[in-house]
A and B are shown apart, each in its own frame.
Chain A
């Protein structure tokens, strides 16, 4: 696998010398507003950041003097930490705020909070909120760049971008004719929603799979390139798949009656060895985390050769560095 990676890096650097697209948006709120050229720009920039991270000192001073604030109204381990590491690797100052312990507890409104952060000197605000659309509201009321770090069941653009980056490093940039299965609680998944856009833009055949109660049929679509279909039969979905991405299943879903039992869910939707055997040889297994090991993915597969789950986390830093860099550079231009 390592060889494949190096080869692709060499190709990326040697091959194209096209004039670069410029980054224009103030914010990154979802992937659905990104053009294929912008996605390509993020991917190429992330490839350069990935190289920076492999150096003995994986740090540069490019964003020296910029302040990145993480504003998290919902819990998070990897996304917040990943953004913090990414910002620091670019030399930015980082301020971390959580809803608990801040003036949010005293009833400060979201709009007041982001205005305050801007007044303090935040250039970029990375925000996670339980309400879908909250970062859009915030972005309208601040001159700072807003990055959506996950809003409700709506979007999680940097996760989708790091997933795409991870897939490209193994399969290449053209996903035409490639089958990507996203299995689990699609209905409540911001990860799935953001992924559908980027994967279709890359030409992939996306298959969304899950119990009928957790599977919104409205996501089925056919784009200029790529397509998105839905099915509740994982055995059918996984046949000849190039990528199998499992989503986190929340235990509360069972209480709401959306799944009969965890045991039932595992029987129908766990990514395990016998199912993976139906996928294409060398198929990748992914998970955005946090993973309920033994539920969404069997333990042997989660830690097996097909799994790129840890690599996703590592790549997340490079991709977030790319996004921070492009937004900050766009602000300076």
Chain B
């Protein structure tokens, strides 16, 4: 990645801290809270949110991971390899915060909601994203947003995370880049 990132490591860290505070405030504490990261990059984000919450609340919130490959409606995305989902606690009656790196059309979130109900019936489901780039195709909106980035449809947003990509950065490209 040679281009200048739109967001760097310090801004990403700040966003995550703020999101963590908002999530706890909205939930009036950490009771019944479960963070579920959408694979691939939502999962390390969820882990970082949990680490931030642990820092200022002293409580370890359970973190799960969700592979949505089996629930996608765009069949061409399907042959990407699947990974096992794992949610360490029973989510019945809990407040589940779905965590994803970018929200765009909302279709990933729709698939994640479908996947989630196969694990149980949460009392509430919330959505936290690092970046909202607009252009929803479904009636879905995030509850917690790290950064709103207005984009054109022809543009693409790539979030890269240390755990997955070896760096913390958000890039904005002027043309569509094939997503990993």
B residues apposed to A, CB below 8 Å: 39-40, 65, 67, 69-71, 75-76, 78-86, 118-119, 163-165, 180
B76's nearest neighbour on chain A, judged by CB, is A333
Residue of A23, A50, A57, A90 near B84 (CB, 8 A) is A50
Residue of A23, A44, A51, A330 near B86 (CB, 8 A) is A51
Chain A interface, >50% SS class: helix
Question: In the complex, what's the smallest C-beta–C-beta distance from A198 to chain B, in angstroms?
Answer: 18
Contact flag A60-B71 (CB < 8 Å), given A55-B119, A326-B79, A330-B79: yes
A residues apposed to B, CB below 8 Å: 9-10, 12-13, 17, 19-23, 41, 44-45, 47-52, 55, 57, 60, 62, 90, 325-326, 329-330, 332-333
Contacts of A329 in B (CB 8 A): 75, 78-79
A55 vs B69: C-alpha distance when bound (angstroms): 16
Q: Is the CB of B83 within 8 A of A44?
A: yes
Question: In the complex, what's the smallest C-beta–C-beta distance from B63 to chain A, in angstroms?
Answer: 12
29 A-B pairs in the complex with CB atoms less than 8 angstroms apart = A9-B86, A12-B83, A13-B39, A13-B83, A17-B40, A17-B165, A19-B180, A20-B80, A21-B81, A44-B81, A44-B82, A48-B69, A48-B70, A48-B82, A48-B84, A50-B84, A51-B85, A51-B86, A52-B70, A60-B70, A62-B70, A62-B71, A62-B78, A325-B78, A326-B79, A332-B75, A332-B76, A332-B78, A333-B75
Instruction: Give the most central of A21, A22, A50, A51: most B CB within 10 Å.
Output: A51
A20's nearest neighbour on chain B, judged by CB, is B81
Contact flag A55-B118 (CB < 8 Å), given A60-B70, A60-B71, A62-B71: yes
A333 vs B82: C-alpha distance when bound (angstroms): 16
A18's nearest neighbour on chain B, judged by CB, is B81
Q: Is the CB of B69 within 8 A of A333?
A: no
Kindly count the residue-residue contacts between A and B in the assembled complex, taking CB atoms under 8 Å apart. Answer: 69
A51's nearest neighbour on chain B, judged by CB, is B84
B75's nearest neighbour on chain A, judged by CB, is A332
Contacts of A49 in B (CB 8 A): 82
B81's nearest neighbour on chain A, judged by CB, is A20
A19 vs B81: C-alpha distance when bound (angstroms): 9
Contacts of B86 in A (CB 8 A): 9-10, 13, 51
If A12-B83, A22-B79, A48-B83 are given as contacts, then 20 extra A-B residue pairs at C-beta distance below 8 Å, sorted by A number, are A9-B84, A10-B86, A12-B84, A17-B163, A17-B164, A19-B180, A20-B80, A41-B81, A44-B82, A44-B83, A45-B81, A45-B82, A48-B69, A62-B78, A90-B70, A329-B75, A329-B78, A330-B79, A332-B78, A333-B76
